[in-house]
Structure 1
């Protein structure tokens, strides 16, 4: 059964925080929300239905929230309890995201990622959803949105509608969608006010094993749940199951070269292969390349489980090859983690998990390299190099080109990785200089 949309009737009473009488002391909602506006600005808000004024400072209307003279809508998908439900909820979210990018929502609509969370319970999983901004209030757009939710969500679906009152206050009405012939029923109304910004992004506590996998088994369980939905999942698992548990590195050096596209990884890794008489490996390996497109089209939970497992396939190859010669690897775990963190944490670099957060740590059951080198170039130089390449890109790689905040989050996530950390090399210089700097780092790490 598909997960239900957020705000079922019991949750409704909590989220609307209804007072028993008009003179009762107002109580703030248990749920808060965060939406990512244009420019990667995060706006935190909650709902207030008490008769009196909110707490001091709590009556401020969220900025940039409602387009004028337009209207906003939102809905979330309930946090799933079991892994099977999480997989189905993630695919449902992805399906709705695709539908919202198509007509009639494409023109005149801005679809923003929305997260619902409980500020008093960090252990409670946040609920993903969407905030749909409509530049001009149009009944046909609202009807189309209602039809979409009726079609894809278990009944009864719920939809929040935001409007501005004459006094400038922002209000949210919560509607229960009945059958198409029955219409809808308004369940409550509350004022929308700014919520306190939490110390950490609400998604930070749930990155492990939801985006960044800390073990082979955790990632494996996700793809096991996908086998009935994605036939390629079994083929990937068959390869993983042939890999030994906890493979040991040989006596030769193992060096990883990391970096964004167009930082010169291909040139450096090939040069190192020739110079050190090394074996060159790539992550993900060629044995799974035929399935990358399939998993790149899946939501983060499934896509990242796939890439996590490909690292364990590479680890098996590293263990074998490092007994015979040095091993150079074009990307490994740090790439998998950095892109996952930047994707799941909305906003800017300041919204990333803090230094030394567990999400930046190397998995205990994954073969560890001796040295990780991160190639860096300026954004301008990287774009110049990308022009004319024409290579097929993943969704995340394409976003690097158009979203500078996403790129900054990926780069900073690289820098925060620990045990092993990344050794930075400026790759904006000539090929010869970059290669000499990389060799210098290698000789410094392996003095003999």
Structure 2
């Protein structure tokens, strides 16, 4: 298994490694020959002489299996490793090469008892294990690939050297059709391949349209209302439905509600495909209803993409893909609304409303509630999505005032 994992990763010595530790990113790269001088990569500076360091990277030609195993690996490591073993997120990538990112974990073990678990992992599982050894002078570090359970080190060793942060955050290399889906066929293919391991995937497949296509706009306008929880979306969408004589739809659609809890437990690749397909089911409903009445949609692709991008890209807002990046483009085969309004609200007021509601929240909404940085990334991702872009409306005033402001936007943009 280890040899197969290595064969999936050509250009090993050209890879850069990223380690997330205490909210910061540390980078190092490899050299096949020691060139003298240089400094110790920052991630190794605090390592004590008794510590052993390892990386465990998940790599498989089957990306469903890879996603599932990575999602379960952290729990396995935390459960089976000794308490004094530190486990941190880690990744490896080829700079500026799409889909080159592989994820895993960095282990620092002072008990020196990780070897047996790691040997068991490479015996059967889609992982590549490396150990890191300190040179006699304490300055030089080398990386050794494990070639098999009975031979912990391969003949090849690499010298570990510091590396500059890449121009683009490494997570952005794998966003397209993994964290955010831009095609019905790509999302459907993930769901189809899940059929053997997730019985509920068959139920999702039965609800899908036979195909998606970039249809022209329906006869009546389609208005999407976006925003974080507790910004007043439900009140506004219901008021617009009544005042415009419109049809109100939601994404994810009601038909997927019984399945959401099941897919929320899955790794991002599968969970994001599920929600992406929900947008295509909603689009089919919009196309039908939009021939008869205006349509109001409570959340759509903007939410799906903004939350996924903010979750995938760790660190500060500046780590997000640059404005104008292709990750913010609207899927070419997904119906485009006539107007997208995103409601914004002062964070303290939003938290107060959430407390008053006392309702259960998704994991991502819980993250929004206590993590200001995550909220800022979601809001910035909303702002950068194009085709169509969002129009921002302050949801702080009374519900009637917000309704009047949005009605003015609709009259100006949609001529209703």
- Into which bin does the TM-score normalised by the smaller protein fall? 0.7 to 0.9
Partner of residue 217 from structure 1, selected from 185, 208, 213: 185
Secondary structure in structure 2 of the residue aligned to 1:284: coil
Secondary structure in structure 2 of the residue aligned to 1:302: helix
Equivalent position of 2:230 in the other structure: 262
In structure 2, do the counterparts of structure 1 residues 152 and 422 end up closer, same or farther at CA, with 3 Å as the change threshold? farther
1:211, 1:300 within 8 Å by CA — same for their partners in 2? Answer: yes
1:33, 1:44 within 8 Å by CA — same for their partners in 2? Answer: yes
Equivalent position of 2:41 in the other structure: 62
Asked whether 1:102 is paired with 2:79, we answer yes
Equivalent position of 1:33 in the other structure: 17
Worse-matched range after superposition: 142-151 or 293-302: 142-151
Equivalent position of 1:24 in the other structure: none
How far off is 1:353 after superposition? 1.3
User: TM-score, normalised on structure 1?
Assistant: 0.82
- Listed one character per residue, the Cα deviations across residues 229-262 of structure 1 (whole Å, up to 9, x for unaligned) are 1111121111113577445543222111111222
Q: What does residue range 220-259 of structure 1 map to in structure 2 within 5 Å? A: 220-241=188-209, 245-259=213-227
Equivalent position of 2:328 in the other structure: 360
Partner of residue 91 from structure 2, selected from 110, 115, 120: 115
Task: Give distance in 2, aligned partners of 1:377 and 1:170.
Answer: 52
Task: Give distance in 1, aligned partners of 2:404 and 2:281.
Answer: 31
- Listed one character per residue, the Cα deviations across residues 18-49 of structure 1 (whole Å, up to 9, x for unaligned) are xxxxxxxxxxx31111122222x222211345
In structure 2, do the counterparts of structure 1 residues 152 and 250 end up closer, same or farther at CA, with 3 Å as the change threshold? same
Worse-matched range after superposition: 248-257 or 164-173: 164-173
2:59, 2:128 within 8 Å by CA — same for their partners in 1? Answer: no
Equivalent position of 1:26 in the other structure: none
1:5, 1:76 within 8 Å by CA — same for their partners in 2? Answer: no
Task: Give distance in 2, aligned partners of 1:98 and 1:125.
Answer: 25
Equivalent position of 1:127 in the other structure: 102
User: TM-score, normalised on structure 2?
Assistant: 0.88
Asked whether 1:197 is paired with 2:155, we answer no
Unaligned regions of 5+ residues in structure 1, if any? 16-28
- Listed one character per residue, the Cα deviations across residues 115-151 of structure 1 (whole Å, up to 9, x for unaligned) are 21123x61462212112345xx1123x2464256246
Equivalent position of 2:54 in the other structure: 73
Partner of residue 395 from structure 1, selected from 355, 363, 375: 363
In structure 2, do the counterparts of structure 1 residues 352 and 79 end up closer, same or farther at CA, with 3 Å as the change threshold? farther
Task: Give distance in 2, aligned partners of 1:53 and 1:251.
Answer: 70
Equivalent position of 2:130 in the other structure: 160
How far off is 1:280 after superposition? 1.3
Q: What does residue range 252-291 of structure 1 map to in structure 2 within 5 Å? A: 252-291=220-259
Worse-matched range after superposition: 380-389 or 252-261: 380-389
Task: Give distance in 1, aligned partners of 2:65 and 2:137.
Answer: 42
Task: Give distance in 2, aligned partners of 1:424 and 1:255.
Answer: 13
Asked whether 1:46 is paired with 2:38, we answer no
1:116, 1:128 within 8 Å by CA — same for their partners in 2? Answer: yes
2:184, 2:212 within 8 Å by CA — same for their partners in 1? Answer: no
How far off is 1:333 after superposition? 0.6
